[in-house]
C-alpha cells in the first residue's frame, strides 16, 4: 500500500496492520486452539468459551487455582469436542440432550447452563484431581456484558471473564519481552486476536477498528491476573513474571483498584461475519490512552 509524503511528494510505504493469529478457548481456562478462520457470534468467536468447568458449588474453575487446566487439550471435530489428557481422551458431542440446567456462577454473574453426565465429568475430575462438572452455555442462557461498557443493549458474553473478544499486538509483547529475563510466548496472554504491523501498545489508543469486513469497538483494557504466570505447556506457575514487570510500567487505577493492563477487550458491532488470518486491520476511531501510575 503506497501513500505520498506531503513534504517531498515521493511515494512512502505505509505499514499495513493485519490479523496474524485467531485463537479460541472452547472450554474456559483449558488450552487454546489456533485457527485460520473463525465466525463472529454475539458472545464471541464460534465455540469460544461456551463450555466451562465448575466445582461442587457450581462456581467457575480456572488456571488461577488449577494451573494444570492448561495441559488439557481440546480439538474441534465435526460432531463435537475432543479433549485429551496424558494419553486419555474423551468426546463431547455438540448435540447433547441436557436433562437439566442449573445456575452456575462466574465472577458476579449467575446464568443457567446445561450439565453433562457423570461419564464426561469423571474425565475432568480425574485429570484435575478434584470433583468438578462440565457445563455448556445454551443459546437461551443470557450473560450480559458489564453495562458500563456495552455498546448495544443486546451485548452479551460467553463464559469469558467479561467480554467477547480480546486483542493484543505482536510488538506490545515484544516490548514486554525486552524487559523480561526470560521472554514469553503469546499464549501466556490468551488473546483471541493478535495484530501484526502496529506499534507497541498502539491498541491502547484505539476506540473502533475494522478487521476484514467486521467492525469492533474497543471497550476496556484487559486487566491481568496470575494466569499470565502459568506456563501453558506444562501447567505450572513459574513465579511472579510477567505480572510483576507489567505492574511496573502498566499499572492503572480502574475504579478503586489498581490493575496491570495488557491488551484490549472488544465487542463486535454485528455477528455472522467470518474473520481470517491475514485480514487487514484499519483503525476507524481513536481515544486517549490510559494513564499509568508508573
Spans of all domains in the chain: 16-286
CATH H-level, domain 16-286: superfamily = PK beta-barrel domain-like (2.40.33.20)
Return left, alpha or beta for 176; rule: phi > 0 is left, psi -120 to 50 is alpha, else beta: alpha
Contacts of 135 (CB under 8 A, 6+ apart): 51, 52, 53, 54, 102, 104, 113, 114, 115, 116
User: Beta-strand (E) ranges in 32-186?
Assistant: 33-35, 37-41, 44-45, 51-54, 73-76, 80-85, 88-93, 101-106, 109-115, 133-136, 165-169
Nearest Cα residue to 134 out of 58, 234, 211: 58
pLDDT tier at 293, thresholds 50, 70, 90:
confident
Res. 100 pLDDT band, cuts 50 70 90: confident
Identify which of 217, 213, 174, 224 has the alpha carbon closest to the alpha carbon of residue 194. Answer: 174
Convert the pLDDT of each residue in 30-79 to its tens digit.
999 999 999 999 999 999 999 999 999 999 999 999 999 999 999 999 99
All three cell numbers of 15 = 505499514
Task: With beta carbons less than 8 A apart as the criterion, state whether 258 and 250 touch.
Answer: no
Classify residue 247 by its DSSP letter: H
Smallest Cα–Cα separation from 133: which of 94, 85, 92?
A: 92
Mean pLDDT of the chain: 93
pLDDT, mean of residues 16-26: 97
Q: What is the pLDDT of residues 235-252, one digit of tens each?
A: 999 999 999 999 999 999
pLDDT digits (tens, 9 = 90+) for 146-171: 888 888 888 999 999 999 999 999 99
Which residues make Cβ contacts (< 8 Å) with residue 140, sequence separation at least 6? 112
Nearest to 29 by CA among 56, 55, 64: 64
pLDDT at residue 6 in the model = 41
Closest CA to 275 of 175, 203, 192, 217: 192
pLDDT value, residue 1:
46
Written as nine digits, the cell of 179 is 524487559
Residue 21 is predicted with a pLDDT of: 98
Query: Cα(150)–Cα(239) distance, rounded to whole angstroms?
Result: 35
Amino acid at each position: 500500500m503506497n501513500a505520498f509524503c506531503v513534504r517531498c511528494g515521493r511515494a512512502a510505504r505505509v505499514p499495513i496492520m493485519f490479523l496474524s493469529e485467531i485463537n479460541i478457548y472452547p472450554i474456559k481456562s483449558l488450552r487454546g486452539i489456533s485457527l485460520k478462520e473463525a465466525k463472529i457470534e454475539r458472545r464471541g468467536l464460534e465455540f469460544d468459551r461456551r463450555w466451562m468447568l465448575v466445582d461442587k458449588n457450581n462456581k467457575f474453575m480456572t488456571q488461577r487455582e488449577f494451573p494444570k487446566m492448561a495441559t488439557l487439550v481440546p480439538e474441534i471435530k465435526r460432531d463435537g469436542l475432543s479433549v485429551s489428557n496424558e494419553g486419555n481422551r474423551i468426546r463431547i458431542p455438540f448435540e447433547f440432550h441436557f436433562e437439566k440446567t442449573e445456575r452456575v456462577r462466574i465472577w458476579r454473574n449467575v446464568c443457567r447452563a446445561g450439565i453433562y453426565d457423570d461419564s464426561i465429568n469423571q474425565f475432568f475430575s480425574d485429570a484435575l484431581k478434584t470433583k468438578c462438572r462440565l457445563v455448556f452455555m445454551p443459546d437461551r442462557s443470557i450473560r450480559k456484558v458489564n453495562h458500563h461498557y456495552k455498546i448495544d443493549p443486546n451485548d452479551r458474553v460467553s463464559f469469558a471473564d467479561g467480554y467477547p473478544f480480546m486483542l493484543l499486538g505482536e510488538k506490545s509483547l515484544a516490548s514486554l519481552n525486552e524487559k523480561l529475563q526470560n521472554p514469553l510466548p503469546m499464549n501466556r496472554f490468551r488473546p483471541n486476536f493478535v495484530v501484526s504491523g502496529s506499534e507497541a501498545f498502539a491498541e491502547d489508543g484505539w476506540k473502533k477498528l475494522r478487521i476484514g469486513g467486521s467492525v469492533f469497538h474497543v471497550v476496556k483494557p484487559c486487566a491481568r491476573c496470575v494466569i499470565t504466570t502459568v506456563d501453558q505447556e506444562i501447567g505450572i506457575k513459574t513465579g511472579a513474571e510477567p505480572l510483576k514487570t507489567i505492574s511496573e510500567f502498566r499499572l492503572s487505577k480502574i475504579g478503586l483498584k489498581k490493575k496491570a493492563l495488557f491488551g484490549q477487550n472488544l465487542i463486535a458491532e454485528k455477528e455472522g461475519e467470518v474473520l481470517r488470518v491475514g485480514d487487514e486491520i484499519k483503525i476507524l476511531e481513536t481515544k486517549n490512552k490510559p494513564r499509568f501510575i508508573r
